[in-house]
Amino acid sequence: NAGVTQTPKFQVLKTGQSMTLQCAQDMNHNSMYWYRQDPGMGLRLIYYSASEGTTDKGEVPNGYNVSRLNKREFSLRLESAAPSQTSVYFCASKKYSNYGYTFGSGTRLTVV
Amino acid sequence: DQQVKQNSPSLSVQEGRISILNCDYTNSMFDYFLWYKKYPAEGPTFLISISSIKDKNEDGRFTVFLNKSAKHLSLHIVPSQPGDSAVYFCAASEASNYQLIWGAGTKLIIKP
């Protein structure tokens, strides 16, 4: 089925470990996004890529890096995980307007 | 400082009755507003939207009302069904391609 695929679905890291969250979309969308969702807060934008070859910081970029590998794939990397990065991470894509956001099912990350 | 606020973390409604979910915003430059619905272990999915040139938009059982002077919008679901039990997020942006600012969400529970 067409959509946004995120891997892994669950991950437990120790403080200081690194990992990469993978995201791929097969809808030929131009823009891709990484959000985090924390209890009592809305989705907060970490990084986004308006088109292949470009990336920009969102609201909460500290501690993260991203790579727009090609039009399909947008990865999020935690170089040195901290407990404050415990969250649910969502990847999303859209073709043009806000009306067409498609989200992945999320990655639940726990840093201990 | 949250620019989009959903002050009710949860709402319980009897099946068949009307569900009203509220959202307030502070940024007068917002001109696109969207509602997303989220089931557990899934990403948010687009539900309905409204632009600032309208005060009402209807799609089947779902209607969104916008009161620009009060900086308030609401989502009405009539009649409420068990499958409507989910978390509902309100989001806003300054233009159709600007970044979305999200509310914290309201968990809607439909009682049989």
Q: Is the pLDDT of residue B73 over 80?
A: yes
pLDDT, position A69 = 87
pLDDT single digits (tens) B49-65: 999 999 999 999 999 99
pLDDT, position A44 = 94
- Cα–Cα distance between B109 and B36 in angstroms, integer? 16
Candidates B89, B97, B99; nearest CB to A42: B89
pLDDT single digits (tens) A14-60: 999 999 999 999 999 999 999 999 988 889 999 999 889 899 999 99
Q: Is the pLDDT of residue B18 over 90?
A: yes
Among B51, B57, B100, most A C-beta atoms within 10 A, so best to mutate, is B100
Would you place residue B96 in the very low, low, confident or very high pLDDT band (cuts 50, 70, 90)? low
Q: How many helices (H) and strands (E) does chain A have?
A: 0, 11
Q: Is the pLDDT of residue A68 over 70?
A: yes
Q: Is the pLDDT of residue A109 over 80?
A: yes
Among B1, B48, B97, most A C-beta atoms within 10 A, so best to mutate, is B97
The C-alpha of B57 sits at a distance from chain A's nearest C-alpha, in angstroms, of: 14
- Rounded average pLDDT over B11-36: 96
Q: Decide if B100 contacts B91 (C-beta within 8 A).
A: yes
A105 φ, ψ to 5°?
-85, -5
Q: Is the pLDDT of residue A97 over 70?
A: no
pLDDT, position B92 = 93
- Cα–Cα distance between B110 and B83 in angstroms, integer? 8
Buried b or exposed e, range B21-46, using 16+ CB within 10 angstroms: bbbbbeeeebbbbbbbbbeeeebbeb
Q: Please state, rounded to an integer, the average pLDDT across all residues of chain A.
A: 93
| Interface contact A97-B45, CB threshold 8 A | no
- Rounded average pLDDT over A73-90: 97
The pLDDT > 70 percentage for chain A reads 96
Q: Please state, rounded to an integer, the average pLDDT across all residues of chain B.
A: 94
Q: Is the pLDDT of residue A99 over 70?
A: no
Candidates A41, A99, A106; nearest CB to B46: A99
Burial level of A4, CB count in 10 A (0-12/13-18/19+)? buried
